[in-house]
């Protein structure tokens, strides 16, 4: 079967590879320059393989009553894992996927096509530039999972960027981000401080080993202007194979400490992961 043959292609920002999972008939792993980017099961879009993706999925599950259609903007395309998830769990949702790498968009949409009628629009554009031209108060959820290589680009870390994100969100809207870091968490703390300049409610979801400084890893940040269902999030993340902690309120303010919000002129990419942090063996 052709489906079982790996596909390799030079895209705009590296070499992308789609590899079939021998244990799941129509499941695929997407890597770029050897780093895992996405995993998608075309037969079961609700299967979220990566731990951080499951945590983002948990947030998507609790931001509104189950099954309610949402307007969602995804910054970063990958293999469209979470857009497919939303299309199934929240039928009728309108979604936009913004991906700077046109070659990657074409590869994924050509080999792993989106289901008909999913109402998912694909945009080959820089995430910040696209946001700056998006209508105000047009999204319920804005999900940022953008990497240039293995690092979050600097221009997506500043107060100016966060203000644009907040402008595009409705008053009840929620901002989600997947960010990598390790102790002493200079990047993560500064990103929380930056979000706090616009959003009143902040939540951090991460594995205890990451928060204790034992290893480099992903953290999911959640920000909004209205309270987030912490109890529901904590139940869902605790039930995962790799349980995560949900930090908020006083504990999260203590974690942020004296970190300062990031200005455009001071912005830097997320830290370079150590060798093997996200590789596949």
What gap in Å lies between CA 173 and CA 179, rounded to an integer? 20
What gap in Å lies between CA 59 and CA 223, rounded to an integer? 11
Query: What secondary structure does DSSP assign to 85-124, as a single string?
Result: HHHHHSTT-EEEEEES-HHHHHHHHHHSPPPTT--EEEEE
Query: What secondary structure does DSSP assign to 180-224, as a single string?
Result: EE-TT-HHHHHHHHHHTTT-SEEEEEE-HHHHTTSS-EEEEEEEE
Q: What is the total count of domains within the chain?
A: 1
What gap in Å lies between CA 71 and CA 140, rounded to an integer? 5
Tell me, yes or no, whether 280 lies in a domain: no
Could you list the residue range(s) of the whole structural domain that residue 255 is in? 43-266
Question: What CATH number corresponds to the domain at position 80?
Answer: 3.40.50.150
Tell me, yes or no, whether 57 lies in a domain: yes
CA distances from 180 to 11, 139, 270 (A): 23, 25, 7
Tell me, yes or no, whether 276 lies in a domain: no
Structure tokens at 143: 């999900």
What gap in Å lies between CA 86 and CA 59, rounded to an integer? 11
Cis peptide leading into residue 157 (ω within 30°): no
CA distances from 125 to 78, 118, 134, 166, 169 (A): 14, 21, 12, 19, 19
Tell me, yes or no, whether 209 lies in a domain: yes
3-class SS of residue 7: strand
Tell me, yes or no, whether 230 lies in a domain: yes
Tell me, yes or no, whether 195 lies in a domain: yes
Check: CB of residue 70 under 8 Å from CB of residue 261: no
Tell me, yes or no, whether 38 lies in a domain: no
Beta pairing partners, 176: 143, 222
> How many angstroms from the chain centroid is the CA of residue 157?
14
DSSP 148: B
pTM: 0.95
Tell me, yes or no, whether 103 lies in a domain: yes
Q: What is the pLDDT along the chain (281 residues), one digit of tens a residue?
A: 445 789 999 999 999 999 999 899 899 999 999 889 999 999 999 999 999 999 999 999 999 999 999 999 999 999 999 999 999 999 999 999 999 999 999 999 999 999 988 999 999 999 999 999 999 999 999 999 999 888 999 999 999 999 999 999 999 999 999 999 999 999 999 999 999 999 999 999 999 999 999 999 999 999 999 999 999 999 999 999 999 999 999 999 999 999 999 999 999 999 999 876 654 43
């Amino acid at each position: 079967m052709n489906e079982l043959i790996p596909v390799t292609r030079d895209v705009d920002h590296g070499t992308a590879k789609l590899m079939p999972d021998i244990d799941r008939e129509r499941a695929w792993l997407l890597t770029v320059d050897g780093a895992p980017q996405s995993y998608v099961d075309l037969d079961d879009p609700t299967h979220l393989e990566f731990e951080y993706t499951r945590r983002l999925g948990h947030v998507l599950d609790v931001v509104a009553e189950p099954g309610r259609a949402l307007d969602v903007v995804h910054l970063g395309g990958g293999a469209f894992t979470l857009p497919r998830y939303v299309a199934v769990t929240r039928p009728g949702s309108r979604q936009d996927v913004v991906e700077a790498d046109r070659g990657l968009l074409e590869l994924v949409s050509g080999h792993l096509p989106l289901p008909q009628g999913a109402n998912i629009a694909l945009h080959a554009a820089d995430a910040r530039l696209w946001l700056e031209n998006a209508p105000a108060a047009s999204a319920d959820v804005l999900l940022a999972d953008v990497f240039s290589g293995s690092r979050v680009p600097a221009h997506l870390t500043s107060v100016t960027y966060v203000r644009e994100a907040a402008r595009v969100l409705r008053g009840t809207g929620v901002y989600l981000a997947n960010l990598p870091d390790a102790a002493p968490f200079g990047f993560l703390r500064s990103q929380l401080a930056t979000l706090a300049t616009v959003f009143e409610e902040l939540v951090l979801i991460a594995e205890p080993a990451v928060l204790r400084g034992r290893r480099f890893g992903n953290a999911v940040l959640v920000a909004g202007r209205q309270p987030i269902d912490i109890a529901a999030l904590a139940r869902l993340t605790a039930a995962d194979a790799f349980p995560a902690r949900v930090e908020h309120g006083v504990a999260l303010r203590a974690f942020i400490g004296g970190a300062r919000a990031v200005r455009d002129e001071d912005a830097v990419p997320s830290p370079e992961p150590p060798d093997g942090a996200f590789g596949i063996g």
